[in-house]
Structures are given as C-alpha cells and as structure tokens.
Amino acid sequence: MKAHEGMYIDGDWRPSVGTETIEVVNPADEQVIGVVPAATAEDVDTAVRAARAAFPGWSATPPAERAARITALRDALAARREEIAETVTAELGAPLGFARAVHADLPIAVAGTYAELAATHAFEEKIGNSTVLHEPVGVVGAITPWNYPLHQIVAKVAPALAAGCTIVLKPAEDTPLTAQLFAEAVHEAAVPAGVFNLVTGLGPVAGQALAEHEDVDLVSFTGSTAVGKQIGATAGAAVKRVALELGGKSANVILPSADLTRAVKTGVANVFANSGQTCSAWTRMLVDAARYDEAVELAAAAAAKYVPGDPQDDTTRLGPVVNAKQRDRVRGYIERGTAEGARVVAGGPEAPEGRETGYYVRPTVFADVTPGMTIAQEEIFGPVVTILKYEDEDDALRIANGTVYGLAGAVWAGDQDEAVAFARRLDTGQVDINGGAFNPLAPFGGYKQSGVGRELGPHGLAEYLQTKSLQL
C-alpha cells in the first residue's frame, strides 16, 4: 500500500501541523518503503477533541448498530487480507505465510467476536433493588506495538467501539502502514467521523501527549514494562483508567510424564514464530534432569530447520527482526548468555550466513542455563530459547514463578489433570496445556509486571466499561 501523507482525524485524512516525518524501513533489505507524518502534541490534541465531540453520539448509538459497524469493519479487513499480509511482511519482516495466518486472520476473527459481543452483551443487570448500568468509559488513548501491528490495534479498538467509546490510536513508529490500512477499513465501514482517529508519531512525543491528555479517560498500552511503568505513573497522577499489556518471560514446563519430542518441538516453534517478537513466547524451557540432555538435542535439531530467509518467500519460516536496534539488542543478549556461562547449542551472535543485509538474527538455543542468568530473567524479544534443568516439581514451580513477569506459559504432562494441577500453581495469566489452541475469546493479560487488565473476549470488553448503580 502507499503511505498516506496525513493522519486520519475526524473522518478525514489531514496533514500534520508539524513538518517532521518517519521513514518506514523494510527490515529484510533495509530499504525505505514509506514516509508518514510524525504527529505533534497539537495533532494529538486535535484528534482527542474530535474523539470527545463524537463520544455523546456514539455512546448513545444502540449496541446493535455498533455491532453492525464492527461487522462492516471485519468485512472490510477480510476483503484486504492479502494486502494486510503483504504490508505486515514489508514493514515487520514476518514471513508471508505467517502474516496471512496470524497477522491477518487472527485480528479479522477478533473483530468478528466483538461484533457478536456488542450485539449480545448485557449492558444492564439487576442486583437486588438496583439496576447496574455498564457504560462506556469515554475517550480511549490506544498505544500499540509493532510486533503484532494489526492484532494489537483490533484488540483495543474493537472492544472500545463495542463498548461505545471513541478512540485515538497511536501505533508503533515501525509499523504505521498497517495502522493506516486499518483506518481505511474503518472509513469503509462507515464508522462515524471522530469515533476512531489515527495519529502516527514517536512515543516520547505523540504517545506521551496522548497519555497525558486531560480529555483521555483511559490509556490502553501494549509494549515494554519500562514504558508501561511511565504510562501507569502518568495515568495514576491524573486518576485515569489504565490498561497495560507488558513484557513476559514465560515458562514452558515439560513434566517427566510428557511427550518430550512434541513438547520440545512445539516449544521451539512457539519461540521462533514472528522471529521471537512475541510477549507471550515460552522463552524458558524447563526439563527434568533425567531427560535434560535429550531435550537439548531435540531443541538443537528443531532449531536447525529454521533458516533465516526472505519473508516474501512462502517457504521461509524465520524472517528478520524489526529494526537494527532490535537486532543489536538480541545479539547482545546472546553474547551475554555465553559470557555468563550458558552453552550455545544452536545459533549464536554472528549474522546468519548470506544475510549480512537486513536485520537478521541466528535462531539460538542455550543449554546449561541457570535461573539467575540474565537470559533467564530478562525479555530478549528475539528467536532465543533458554533450556533450564529442574530436580522435581517444586523446583520446576520455583523456577517458573521466579521472574518479575507472569504473562503466559505452557505445561506438558502425560495426563491432562496432572498438567492442569501444575498450571493452577503458576503465577501467570494464561497457560497452554499440552499444546492447547489459542482462544480469541479467552482473557489475555498478565500477573505481576506483565501488566494490568485483560484483552480479548468479554473480559476485554469490560475494560472499556464503567458501572453506574441505580437504587430503585
């Protein structure tokens, strides 16, 4: 798609009041593929004012009509499935097959779930002599990351629309073209002017202005824990609602009774998907001492099948990471792991063979990792698997729960009840049991420093509602 030179505000594309721009770079070949405006605080203010002006009308719109607009939005996105996939591949570097199956199809499905929820949710309930009203929070400031650019937008915008909120979206500067494509779909869906607004810009300028704006009632942010803490502090000082979906260092716990081959192969695939740029990736593989060496061999063999390649090629399973900074960060962590005594059994910090151009990282597996190592505690956000040894179930639980994060995880066992019993003891917001499928209606979000609030399904809708009790 061709980049818009303006921002989508109050139902129209309009230029920024400033002259600064952001270059969009293809991470596979380092070529500039588009230029978008960098919003100023004044642009953000214009967008928030438009959202505020549109709020009374949209919040009073019957839920069935809101559902119809979200259905139209889903259909507009579905009609652009291939364009979405190609755009995500161009600006993120995700392999085209993965871009179709996950970056396009998942958000289309999520939009559909919110069309249904908007139509069926009980916005009123009776409790004793009270009628409790579930009303929209107001103007939402949504700040989204680059790693799943369309999914993260839909996971905020669709429930906000369903609730009757109006929105100003500030997408990540690395992937603004996907956000512009989404704005085009919103326009095609005849969502009223001002209900959805898009400002492209830098986090410290546009993101900060949005989080601080006195007329924003809720800030929904997905990104790093460090930035999330800043936004939480800003929102707290203004006594405004905040939803934060932050980092993770999720454990993949393989119990002694599990099918080791399946658990290891699935675990490696989970981390290497999207070049490891997934906040919920199971980056710590925990294996019992008796089967540890076998697991390491299996993981190294699985990693060998992930050859970094051109994401435009349908056979490529592993593309580049998003930018040079991210590439250098991931390689730095790989070097740090070796320095702290971990053993590289696949990959390493060097550029992949034949991939000197582009932001490529070798898919890496570490053995002999101990819980206190940096690579076992900090979120790397790249294709790096760390394999840790445990002595018994209590030791596995201690290691699994032994980070500041608690976003996701996995448990594998020969018996499902055994796996569920272990999962109940994990301090994390989501656990996959024996490879259980992702459920777009289940709440997604973290414990501890992985965040505040939930996305997806009815729990995600509830984030954008506030209650009013009428005593009768």
Backbone angles phi, psi at 340, to 5 degrees: -90, 0
The domains of the chain are located at: 7-246+450-471, 251-440
What are residue 396's DSSP bridge partners? none
Q: Is 45 within 8 Å of 168 (Cβ atoms)? A: no
Q: Is 286 helix (H, G, I), strand (E, B) or coil?
A: strand
Q: Which of the residues 279, 379, 418, 455 is marked catalytic?
A: 279
pLDDT number for residue 2: 82
Alpha helices in 164-276 (DSSP H): 176-188, 208-212, 225-237, 260-272
Cα separation, 252 vs 295, whole angstroms: 12
Treating both helix axes as pointing N-terminal to C-terminal, what angle do 176-188 and 63-79 enclose, rounded to 10 degrees?
130
pLDDT number for residue 343: 98
Mark whether 245 is an active-site residue: yes
Q: Is 279 helix (H, G, I), strand (E, B) or coil?
A: coil
Cα separation, 295 vs 194, whole angstroms: 54
pLDDT number for residue 444: 98
**Terminal alpha carbon distance of the chain:** 55
Measured from the Cβ of residue 205, the count of other Cβ atoms closer than 10 Å reads 18
Domain 7-246+450-471, classified CATH 3.30.1540.20, yes or no = no
Does this model's pTM top 0.85? My answer is: yes
C-alpha angle 33-35-36 in degrees, rounded to nearest 5: 135
For domain 251-440, the CATH class is alpha beta
Residues 6+ apart with CB under 8 A from 134: 121, 122, 123, 124, 125, 462, 465, 466, 467
Cα separation, 265 vs 303, whole angstroms: 9
Return the exposure string of 59-91: e unless at least 16 CB atoms fall within 10 Å of the residue's CB, then b: bebebeebbbbbbbbbbbbbebeebbbbbbbbb
pLDDT number for residue 214: 97
Backbone angles phi, psi at 242, to 5 degrees: -145, 140
Q: Which of 134, 175, 135, 137 is nearest to 153 (CA)?
A: 175
Cα separation, 45 vs 204, whole angstroms: 15
Q: Which of the residues 212, 245, 379, 418 is marked catalytic?
A: 245
Cα separation, 368 vs 340, whole angstroms: 10
Instruction: State the Rg of the chain over Cα.
Output: 22
Cα separation, 428 vs 423, whole angstroms: 9
Mark whether 379 is an active-site residue: no
Burial of 230 by CB count in 10 Å (0-12 exposed, 13-18 middle, 19+ buried)? middle
Measured from the Cβ of residue 366, the count of other Cβ atoms closer than 10 Å reads 27
pLDDT number for residue 1: 72
Backbone angles phi, psi at 270, to 5 degrees: -60, -45
Place of tokens 């979906």: 245
Per-residue pLDDT of the chain in tens (472 residues, 90 and over written 9): 788 999 999 999 999 999 999 999 999 999 999 999 999 999 999 999 999 999 999 999 999 999 999 999 999 999 999 999 999 999 999 999 999 999 999 999 999 999 999 999 999 999 999 999 999 999 999 999 999 999 999 999 999 999 999 999 999 999 999 999 999 999 999 999 999 999 999 999 999 999 999 999 999 999 999 999 999 999 999 999 999 999 999 999 999 999 999 999 999 999 999 999 999 999 999 999 999 999 999 999 999 999 999 999 989 999 999 999 999 999 999 999 999 999 999 999 999 999 999 999 999 999 999 999 999 999 999 999 999 999 999 999 999 999 999 999 999 999 999 999 999 999 999 999 999 999 999 999 999 999 999 999 999 999 999 999 999 9
Domains 7-246+450-471 and 251-440 are alike in CATH topology: no
